[in-house]
Amino acid sequence: MNMAIRVFLLLLIIFSSMYPTLCIYEDQVGHMDWHQQYIGKVKHAVFHTQKAARKRVVVSTEENVVASLDLRRGEIFWRHVLGPKDVIDALDIALGKYVITLSSGGTILRAWNLPDGQMMWESTLSGSTPSMSLLSIPTNLKIGKDDVVFVYGSGCLYAVASIDGEVIWKKELTSEGVHIQQLIYPDGTDIIYAVGLAGLAQFDAYQINVKTGELLKHSSMVFPAGFSGDLSFITSDIAVTLDSTGSILVAVHFQDGEISFHQTQVSELGWDFSGPAVLLLTKLPGMFALEINKSIVFIKVTNEGKLEVVDKLGQSTAVSESLNLSEGQQAFGLIQRGDGKIILSVKLGSDWTSNLLQETIQMDYQRGNAHKVFINTYVRTDRSNGFRALIVMEDHSLFLLQQGEIVWSREDGLASITDVMASELPVEKDGVSVAKVEHNLFEWLKGHLLKLKGTLMIATPDDVAAIQKLRLQSSEKSKMTRDHNGFRKLLIVLTRAGKLFALHTGDGRIVWSLFLDSLRKSETCQNPRGLSLHQWQDPHHHVLDENPSVLVVGRCDHSTDSPGVLSVVDTYTGQERNHLGPTHSITRVIPLPFTDSAEQRLHLLLDVNRQAHLYPRTTEALDIFQRELGNIYWYSADVDKGILKGHAVQNNCILKIADSYCFNTRDLWSIILPSESEKIIATATRNLNEAVHTQAKVTSDQEVMYKYISKNLLFLATVAPKAVGPIGSVTPEESWLVVYVIDTVTGRILHRMTHHGSQGPVQAVFSENWVVYHYFNLKAHRYEMSVIEIYDQSRSDNKDILKLLLGKHNLTSPITAYSRPEVIAKSQSYFFTHSVKTLAVTSTAKGITSKQLLLGTIGDQVLALDKRFLDPRRTVNPTQAEKEEGIIPLTDSLPIIPQSYVTHALKVEGLRGIATVPAKLESTTLVFAYGVDLFFTRLAPSRTYDSLTEDFSYALLLITIAALVIAIFVTWIWSEKKELQEKWR
């Protein structure tokens, strides 16, 4: 039996040593993480449907992505994410094999290989004046031997060889401030026309020799009434524009350098048009479109230059560019919004009344209106023209329609997430379980037997594949109910389009989506935009039957004084519970640390006039707020003026209509930073929901340091005003970085430190009593990371054990910032190799687990760095005791361990933010990184010390236990028998 115990112990030791390490194995990829690729809202699309090659559509998006999509399934063939400032202006295909993109305000021209997306060449077209950027690719034009691409950017016209990007000639067209709006190249001629306006009152047309770039003719004509600004081009020699009042349509003929204006009053067009008209930039055959009175009017230009209204449609109509059909005809597509459906019609340019195609497609109301449509034609089997249409909806999703059906759709709104919140899933009740596939016992056993085989390394390759499949498709992780460990949650994300999505953390699928009515374009709210998400109601204890909800804060326009909109959305059902707005402007949202009896969190919303508005608007909330009024403060950081101000909430506002939920505020303190030497570039505060386990830090010699833990601390970084620009724009002598840690209740500066010869950009993260920030050291030509830890000295004399034993200490009694506790700050700096896009820190349920910093690197990956590396107590030669405590010997730079890339081999293209959510299991934290791509995983900074791994073979354990029990019985019976024999002897 001893032997059996030994075997059992040995097995236990083996099991307990099977904890996962920081990195993961190849077969664990996709087990607890998921990765989704998006492209963003499409703004240009070019179809490539040649017979031999795979059919594809090349798109460029507002997230600066160039991508080639499979036309059959909508998958990404290849994709390139350009930098955030490298906005794509134009996209086209040249030579049938290169995708040409013009970006960065017409200064960078790139060619990408169509099949695989490799960059073939890149040309930098330098110019002086910013201007529109235009790209024109003639189909059959050769200069010398080269096919050519015409580019207008930065006030210059370039002819670029499309095979290698060589500039053939360059012509500056900036004289007299002419803004070129169109390049026109009539096929087969030697002249390219560049047409534009100068100073809104003069029409200019240039004729340029395509071979040499020589200016053949420059004609201009002044229009005294002035233009509204945009030109709409009807044919190669007629343009239409509006005068500055928007009431007269001007048709401009510019054939052969002869310019003539033909004026028509908008009101003369018939129909009943009133109000100013706006010209829509369309490229329709022989037509243009005006927006008058919230409707779109299509006007045809006849050969004699007369204008004829053909139709008037609703505002939510999207029109495609014209498409050349085979017989020299031109067609275009129109999308109109019906009730719960969209109507696609394709018409010939010459004939408005009949449709080449009309299809009605069911479309979810949550997708809003169609914003853009691109059409493409194919030849049907009966040799007639078929059409497919690529539609971009208001929520940025992308659809391909063909033969009256949606072939595929992409949720590309998720490429532009602006805010993230986590929400719990419903508790599992009888009959509520949504899981479709519940394992039966046999399946369960089979799965575990397979795993056992894998553990014992006797699995065949087929078995290994089956194990991997089992792992990835575990129904357990995608259930719609709360799990014991708190791994399953909903991620509520707000996108730039104003749409809310709920993503399941298990597999990343969309559980529900909601396009908020308050964030849709409407008459009262012209340019609505979602600002942020806040936890509105998070039921825990006595109101568990209530569903949790989030508060969505939005704004009607771009300026800060525009009216705000508020919505409360139920996170279980995805329904809007109530909404408010447009209402007062919203500049800051302050979630207060109080909740009412229904566990709705109190929020204070500040407007431009520094009045505070309390939400929810209930008397109960008001009572709670009135009780705590004296202890509620707020601060404002004015980046432009360099002023930090503290305010207190005072009494009710004096308004025309009495509002007991509105409060005036008064100034308490202000910190004025010298504008000639300091400019605010970054701030960081602690996350309000962060849990801190203890206030004491025990050092190696059993001494205690008390952390200064306050939620009211602000980290502020300023740089010399000269050093605001990019790295390298200043010398180290005239650049400095000053960091502050400020108590925002009293305005007390707890710590101030200057880094000479350093500059931004600064990324910072604040947690517990420390702040870590990343900046550039100009003297050392390297990036640096620094840590500041703040300790409370006024508590350090609590050394009487007897008092502590009897609980006679004041360490846990409430403290006030006005007591001005004496603090000390410890700081240390290290070199760091990478530049960092964003910084975050792991957060766990109780705050016991040690922390890891999550760095979004310039390569769009997430790197985990142990906080222990950023410890101001690191020394070059730590003592034995310090080593035991876990202090790492000081090195001048922070190590980058390749295994600690959280995103392993994947990239989160266009990484913008990292959100961490604590799981219920103390060791584990959920990490969600978002940008153009989304990535989710779980992290255990101190390893999963509180649970068995998912690979843990329960079957093996059960078998072992059963075997041991049997062994015990067998040996017992055996020993009984032997003893009996002994006695008889």
Partner 1 sequence: MDKGKAVMGSGRRWAVEFTDNSTSNSSRDIPDPPGFTRASHDPDDSAVSKQKKDAEANWKSQKAWEVAQAPFKNLFMMGFMMWMSGSTVHLFSIGITFSALWQPINALRGVGKVFEPYKDNRVDLLAPKLVFIALNLVGLGMGIWKLNTLGLLPTHVSDWVSSLPPAQEVEYSGGGIPLY
What's the min distance (Å) between Cβ of 718 and partner 1?
13
Tell me 427's DSSP state. Answer: P
Q: Please answer whether residues 815 and 889 qualify as being in contact, where contact means their C-beta atoms are separated by less than 8 angstroms.
A: no
Q: Contact region for partner 1 (CB under 8 A) — 351-359, 374-382, 466-474, 589-597?
A: 589-597
- Restricting to residues 897-926, name those near partner 1 by CB under 8 A: none
Would you give the distance in Å from CA 789 to the centre of its chain?
Answer: 31
What's the min distance (Å) between Cβ of 572 and partner 1?
27
- Restricting to residues 531-560, name those near partner 1 by CB under 8 A: 531-532, 553, 555, 560
- Which lies closer to partner 1 via its Cβ, residue 71 or residue 745? 745
- Which lies closer to partner 1 via its Cβ, residue 174 or residue 699? 699
Q: Comparing C-alpha atoms, which of 614, 548, 547 is closest to residue 580?
A: 614
The two tokens of residue 597 are 């009896």
Q: Is residue 118 at the binding interface for partner 1, with CB under 8 A as the rule?
A: no
Q: Which of 432, 465, 672, 704 touches partner 1 by CB under 8 A?
A: 704
Task: Please report the sign of the dihedral spanned by the C-alpha atoms of residue 172, residue 173, residue 179, residue 183.
Answer: negative
What's the min distance (Å) between Cβ of 93 and partner 1?
37
Q: Is residue 794 at the binding interface for partner 1, with CB under 8 A as the rule?
A: no
Q: Contact region for partner 1 (CB under 8 A) — 123-131, 693-701, 773-781, 937-945?
A: 693-701
Sheet holding 563-570: strands in order across? 529-537, 549-555, 563-570, 576-585
Q: Which of 799, 876, 877, 981 touches partner 1 by CB under 8 A?
A: 799
Q: Please answer whether residues 112 and 98 qualify as being in contact, where contact means their C-beta atoms are separated by less than 8 angstroms.
A: yes
The two tokens of residue 639 are 């980046």
Torsion of CA 480, 482, 486, 491, to 10 degrees: 40
Q: Is residue 983 at the binding interface for partner 1, with CB under 8 A as the rule?
A: yes
Task: Please report the sign of the dihedral spanned by the C-alpha atoms of residue 919, residue 923, residue 924, residue 925.
Answer: positive
What's the min distance (Å) between Cβ of 497 and partner 1?
17
Q: Is residue 750 at the binding interface for partner 1, with CB under 8 A as the rule?
A: no
What's the min distance (Å) between Cβ of 884 and partner 1?
9
The two tokens of residue 132 are 């529109």
What's the min distance (Å) between Cβ of 696 and partner 1?
4
Q: Is residue 675 at the binding interface for partner 1, with CB under 8 A as the rule?
A: no
What's the min distance (Å) between Cβ of 1 and partner 1?
9
Q: Is residue 695 at the binding interface for partner 1, with CB under 8 A as the rule?
A: yes
Q: Is residue 886 at the binding interface for partner 1, with CB under 8 A as the rule?
A: no
Q: Is residue 297 at the binding interface for partner 1, with CB under 8 A as the rule?
A: no
The two tokens of residue 972 are 């017992």
Tell me 31's DSSP state. Answer: T
Helix, strand, or coil here: 292?
strand
Q: Is residue 687 at the binding interface for partner 1, with CB under 8 A as the rule?
A: no
What's the min distance (Å) between Cβ of 602 and partner 1?
11
The strand ranges marked E within 154-214 are 156-161, 167-172, 178-184, 191-198, 202-209
Own/partner long-range contacts of 452-458 (Cβ < 8 Å, ≥24 apart): 452/953, 452/955, 452/956, 452/959, 455/951, 455/953, 455/956
What's the min distance (Å) between Cβ of 587 and partner 1?
4
Q: Which of 711, 752, 781, 977 touches partner 1 by CB under 8 A?
A: 711
Q: Is residue 849 at the binding interface for partner 1, with CB under 8 A as the rule?
A: no
- Tell me how many residues contact partner 1 (CB under 8 A): 66
Q: Which of 458, 654, 801, 905 touches partner 1 by CB under 8 A?
A: 801
Q: Contact region for partner 1 (CB under 8 A) — 30-38, 273-281, 359-367, 813-821?
A: 813-821
- Which lies closer to partner 1 via its Cβ, residue 555 or residue 755? 555
Q: Which of 513, 710, 857, 923 touches partner 1 by CB under 8 A?
A: 710
Q: Is residue 186 at the binding interface for partner 1, with CB under 8 A as the rule?
A: no
- Give CA–CA dist 56/723, Å, rounded: 46
Sort strands 34-36 and 862-866 into parallel, antiparallel or unpaired.
Answer: unpaired
- Restricting to residues 257-296, name those near partner 1 by CB under 8 A: none
3-class SS string, 484-547: CCCCCCEEEEEECCCEEEEEECCCCCEEEEEECHHHCCCCCCCCCEEEEEEEEECCCCCCCCCC
Q: Please answer whether residues 740 and 749 qualify as being in contact, where contact means their C-beta atoms are separated by less than 8 angstroms.
A: yes
β-pair partners for 47: 57
- Which lies closer to partner 1 via its Cβ, residue 523 or residue 797? 797
Q: Is residue 455 at the binding interface for partner 1, with CB under 8 A as the rule?
A: no
- Which lies closer to partner 1 via its Cβ, residue 366 or residue 695? 695
* Owner of token pair 């400020």: 742
Q: Contact region for partner 1 (CB under 8 A) — 13-21, 629-637, 850-858, 870-878?
A: 629-637
- Which lies closer to partner 1 via its Cβ, residue 151 or residue 602? 602
606: amino acid identity, one letter: L
Q: Is residue 744 at the binding interface for partner 1, with CB under 8 A as the rule?
A: yes
Q: Is residue 804 at the binding interface for partner 1, with CB under 8 A as the rule?
A: yes
The Cα-based distances of 944 to 20, 491, 577, 848, 938 in angstroms read: 7, 23, 39, 13, 11
- Which lies closer to partner 1 via its Cβ, residue 61 or residue 746? 746
- Restricting to residues 473-502, name those near partner 1 by CB under 8 A: none
Q: Which of 166, 308, 667, 979 touches partner 1 by CB under 8 A?
A: 979
- Which lies closer to partner 1 via its Cβ, residue 388 or residue 912? 912
10 Å CB burial of residue 888 (0-12, 13-18, 19+) is middle
Q: Is residue 409 at the binding interface for partner 1, with CB under 8 A as the rule?
A: no
Q: Which of 813, 898, 981, 984 touches partner 1 by CB under 8 A?
A: 813
* Ramachandran angles phi, psi of 578, nearest 5°: -155, 165
Q: Is residue 587 at the binding interface for partner 1, with CB under 8 A as the rule?
A: yes
What's the min distance (Å) between Cβ of 544 and partner 1?
25
Q: Contact region for partner 1 (CB under 8 A) — 388-396, 425-433, 759-767, 799-807?
A: 799-807
- Give CA–CA dist 386/331, Å, rounded: 12
Q: Contact region for partner 1 (CB under 8 A) — 59-67, 382-390, 709-717, 833-841?
A: 709-717
What's the min distance (Å) between Cβ of 966 and partner 1?
19
Q: Comparing C-alpha atoms, which of 718, 717, 716, 735 is closest to residue 727?
A: 735
- Give CA–CA dist 778/762, Å, rounded: 13
Q: Is residue 805 at the binding interface for partner 1, with CB under 8 A as the rule?
A: yes
Sort strands 934-939 and 925-930 into parallel, antiparallel or unpaired.
Answer: antiparallel
- Which lies closer to partner 1 via its Cβ, residue 192 or residue 632? 632
Stretch 23-52: interaction string toward partner 1, x if CB under 8 A: ------------------------------
What are the residue ranges of helices labelled H in 542-583?
Answer: none
Q: Please answer whether residues 138 and 189 qualify as being in contact, where contact means their C-beta atoms are separated by less than 8 angstroms.
A: no
Q: Which of 244, 267, 798, 942 touches partner 1 by CB under 8 A?
A: 798
Q: Please answer whether residues 917 and 926 qualify as being in contact, where contact means their C-beta atoms are separated by less than 8 angstroms.
A: yes
Which strand (E) or helix (H) includes residue 939? Answer: strand 934-939
The two tokens of residue 270 are 């018939």
The two tokens of residue 675 are 């504008």
Q: Which of 588, 722, 868, 943 touches partner 1 by CB under 8 A?
A: 588
- Restricting to residues 631-670, name those near partner 1 by CB under 8 A: 631-637, 639, 646-647
Site residues, partner 1 (CB under 8 A): 531-532, 553, 555, 560, 586-593, 604, 606, 628, 631-637, 639, 646-647, 680, 683, 685, 692-696, 698-699, 702-704, 706-707, 709-712, 714, 744-745, 798-799, 801, 804-805, 811-818, 975-976, 979, 982-983
